Amino acid sequence: MNRARTGRASSGAAIAAGTLASRLTGFLRTIVIAAALGQFLGDPYNVANTIPNSLYDLLLGGVLSSVVLPLLVQASHDDADGGEAYAQRLLSVVVALLTITAVAGVLLAPQIVHLYGGKLAGPERALATTFTRYFLPQVLFYGAGAVFTAILNTRGSLALPMWAPVLNNLVVIASGGLFLAVTRSAPHAGQLSHGQILVLALGTTGGIVVQTIALLPGLRAVGIRLRLRTDWRASPLVSAGPFAAWMVGYVVTNQLGSLVIVNLATASGRARHNPGFGYSAYTYAYALFSLPYAVVAVTVITALFPRMSRSATAQRRGEIANTLGAGLSLSGTLLVPATALLVALGPLVGAVVFAHGNTDLSDARLTGATLAAFALGLVPFSAFQLQLRAFLALRDSRTPALVNGAVTAVNVLADLVLYVALPPREKVVGLALGFVASYVLGAFWFARLLRRRLGPANEHRVLRTHLRLTVAALVAVVPAYAAARLLTGGLGLDPESSFVAVAVAAVIGGALFFAVASRLRVSELDEITDMVRRRLRGC
């Protein structure tokens, strides 16, 4: 018993360490790439790098992320070979479909770039097309990696998939660092040599390839032989049924909304006479916004989704409501103060993170302002994602798909209105505000639907906890913001001075938030503190 417990603890520590390493190296990757690309190359690179992700999500991403793991579990339980042939057929279908997609995409790269980056013109569009041709093979490796990860997860090998993205990030970091070394001044789209383009193009795609290959030893360790099969008697993806079909609809809706946003964001750069840095401000800000969401909300979702699924299987809906309420309260304990801090200090954070290399201070602070707008959506976006898992635990993908259609429509409509209404420099900030408005609607709509289905368990506690957290955050953020303004007024807005201001403000704000939240008896704060203490004792 003790050995089993020790093994689970070691596995959990490896998973937690891998997750943290992945997020930290991903954060560093964003910094290095932004510094390397600067204000002239950012949009051609980032638009091109969005395309393989979008095509993969449109074709298979929604299905692979939502239904493949349960199907592999069932096959491993029911089939005489432990599901090996089923896994091989699944991999074969994915490889065949995505290989065709990658080849067709390379041939149609100019048309695809026009679809996603219609406002790019001249050298920027030509460079985006070149990058797209090098990036599209990533689609195949995304799909294969997703299947490999699902196979490993069904066989209890969880740590390796958490660590593999670290290799991807390190390869891209090296690529961005090398590009910085071989470009002596701020690079322009029409002035890059073929070798300089290859440094970024091959490095970016190479990271995905290395990440996928890194999973192969794990497959051998769990006894899975890689083999492409042609006996697709019944496609493993077809067997997913209507549940998968609604998830495909969910993903298609997201991608249609993303298509509009990418075009508006690239147009915002041209509107302020900087055609290389519009979508880049949006995507860099979103990457930073995703960091607290990933560290906090994704951790909570990962822990609670299996519990909600087991409760749904046993028809204990009250337990699902209680688990969901606990997750919303626990994640809010960290996300509410993070929201206050990022809203107050966004431009300073942007200067600290991005005003390096080929990115100037003005563009870095614009990215920070966009981050501040995104931060308003941390709590509703995280609540939406956690509530989505409650529907999936109930094996209902239809409701989320329909709600997501309305959420995406609101996002697009709000973005269009704000884009027209705001001056050129604030247009990209408006796109982030449109994102926030849509997920506020989605979170409240989900909450209403789940209340009808699960009952009101923990509803008042969740509201009370978030109200107390908001009060504590507001009390803490005012002196923190005042301290930051005082420091930057004397020291300036350069990255070093901004770092001092952010650090001092974070210490002041964090201490005040913890003190006020404790006085308001936010019990989840004690729960998190105890969790950290137990983890430290176990190290």
What are the pLDDT digits (tens) for 54-103? 888 877 666 666 666 666 766 666 667 767 777 888 888 888 888 999 99
Q: Residue 457: how many CA atoms within 13 Å on its side-chain side?
A: 16
Q: Nearest Cα to 419, choosing from 285, 275, 260? A: 260
Res 232: pLDDT:
59
* 210, 236, 262 - which closes a domain: 236
**Residues 286 and 334 occupy one common structural domain:** yes
Rounded distance, CA 342 to CA 372, Å?
5
Rounded distance, CA 61 to CA 536, Å?
37
Rounded distance, CA 466 to CA 522, Å?
9
Which amino acid appears at position 1 of this protein? Answer: M
Res 243: pLDDT:
65
Encoding tokens for residue 484?
A: 């930051």
CB 324 within 8 A of CB 308: yes
Rounded distance, CA 384 to CA 396, Å?
15
Q: Nearest Cα to 524, choosing from 332, 248, 292? A: 332
- Whole-Å CA distances, 417 to 11, 268, 285: 49, 13, 21
| Cα Rg, the chain, nearest whole Å | 23
Rounded distance, CA 299 to CA 382, Å?
11
**Residues 90 and 173 occupy one common structural domain:** yes
Res 213: pLDDT:
95
Q: At what angle do helices 495-519 and 523-538 cross, to 10 degrees?
A: 110
Rounded distance, CA 140 to CA 100, Å?
9
Give residue 60's domain range: 1-236
Q: How many helices (H) and strands (E) does the chain have?
A: 21, 0
Rounded distance, CA 131 to CA 121, Å?
15
Q: Nearest Cα to 64, choosing from 242, 313, 236, 217? A: 236
Encoding tokens for residue 302?
A: 């990962």
**Residues 390 and 504 occupy one common structural domain:** yes
Give the residue ranges of the chain where pLDDT is below 70. 1-16, 60-71, 73-79, 82, 231-244, 302, 457, 528-539
**Residues 187 and 284 occupy one common structural domain:** no
Res 5: pLDDT:
40
Rounded distance, CA 268 to CA 279, Å?
8
Please give the torsion angle defined by the CA atoms of residues 26, 27, 29 and 35, in that order, rounded to the nearest 10 degrees: 160
**Residues 265 and 353 occupy one common structural domain:** yes
pTM here is 0.86
**Residues 118 and 262 occupy one common structural domain:** no
**Residues 159 and 187 occupy one common structural domain:** yes
**Residues 156 and 257 occupy one common structural domain:** no
* 191, 213, 236 - which closes a domain: 236
Encoding tokens for residue 501?
A: 């201001």
Res 28: pLDDT:
94
DSSP conformational letter for 226:
P
Encoding tokens for residue 530?
A: 């105890």
**Residues 311 and 228 occupy one common structural domain:** no
* 236, 260, 289 - which closes a domain: 236
**Residues 452 and 431 occupy one common structural domain:** yes
Rounded distance, CA 522 to CA 146, Å?
39
**Residues 252 and 218 occupy one common structural domain:** no
Rounded distance, CA 320 to CA 304, Å?
9
Encoding tokens for residue 327?
A: 């997750």
CB 116 within 8 A of CB 182: no
**Residues 264 and 205 occupy one common structural domain:** no
Which amino acid appears at position 82 of this protein? Answer: G
Structural domains in the chain (count): 2
